[in-house]
Amino acid sequence: MNQRLIISSALASALALGLVDAAQAQPKDKEKCYGISKPGQNDCSNEAGTHSCAGQSKADMSLDDWKYVAKGSCQKLGGKTADELPKK
């Protein structure tokens, strides 16, 4: 295999991983709110590790699943922030 192809593939992979990390960064004006998402409406992976992507929650209002909400609005919606979750 061509060494140039290998190097360019490795570089492209590294750049793609950097973009994925940037896309998953928490917005500054938002916070994770647990216990407010309906099935299939969570924003990303859950705390239990049973799924790793948005839209995969199965339970209604599970404290394992979260959605981004405006900072300071989580309690008004009936949810809990990460600091308020029961320690496991």
12: amino acid identity, one letter = A
- Reported pTM: 0.65
**31, β-bridge pairs:** 69
CB 79 within 8 A of CB 37: no
Q: How far apart are CA 88 and CA 86, in angstroms?
A: 6
Domain ranges of the chain: 3-81
According to the 3-state scheme, what is the secondary structure of 39-70?
A: CCCCCCCCCCCCCCCCCCCCCCCCCCCEEEEE
Question: How do the pLDDT tens digits run along the chain, 88 residues long?
Answer: 588 767 667 667 666 665 554 445 678 899 999 999 999 999 988 887 888 888 888 889 999 999 999 999 999 999 999 999 887 6
